Structure 1
Amino acid sequence: MNFFYELWEYHKGKITGVILGFIVGLLIIIFGFFKALFLIFCCAVGYFIGKAIDRNIPLREFINKFLPPYK
């Protein structure tokens, strides 16, 4: 168990990159390039919305950063 902890501690960027690359590769093989790109985009949007919720930023304020104000 100590081996895996040390491996993660010293190589977390490489391990994360390999895992993300593997997942993106699988998505492209399964869905095709543009569908995989859309899925990755949706995941990124969900991540940023979740990050805003974790920081207690009101959703309206978060959306106003990216979209023009509604008149």
Structure 2
Amino acid sequence: MDRKLIEEIWQHHSGKVVGSTIGFALGVLIIIFGFFQTIFVLLCVTAGYIVGKRIDEKEDIMDILDKLLPPGYHR
């Protein structure tokens, strides 16, 4: 396909493309793993994204763990 055509489609229909891709991936995951295993995978991906985002923002990993774990867990 022509690169200009792909850029034009992305500019005008990016939400549809992303939504369709996510829907397709979610459907495949549910077929392969089942509903509850897919939910677990999605929760793990979300947690990984949040931790990675905070690391990218230069937040200290120990501060992140202090927020997630019970008080007094690490010394």
Q: Structure 1 length normalisation: TM-score?
A: 0.87
User: Which AA in structure 2 matches 1:22?
Assistant: F
Larger Rg: 2
Q: Between Structure 1 and Structure 2, how many residues are aligned?
A: 71
- Deviates further, 2-11 or 56-65: 56-65
Task: State the percentage of identical aligned residues.
Answer: 41
d(CA) in 2 for partners of 1:16 and 1:64? 34
Runs (4+) off by over 6 Å: none
d(CA) in 2 for partners of 1:12 and 1:70? 46
Q: Structure 2 length normalisation: TM-score?
A: 0.83
Which of 2, 5, 18 aligns to 1:3? It is: 5
In structure 2, runs of 5+ residues without a counterpart are none
Q: Does 1:27 align with 2:20?
A: no
CA offsets 1:31-66 (integer angstroms, 9 cap, x no match):
000001100110111111111111110112223334
Matches within 5 A, 1:46-61: 46-61=48-63
Aligned-CA RMSD value? 1.4
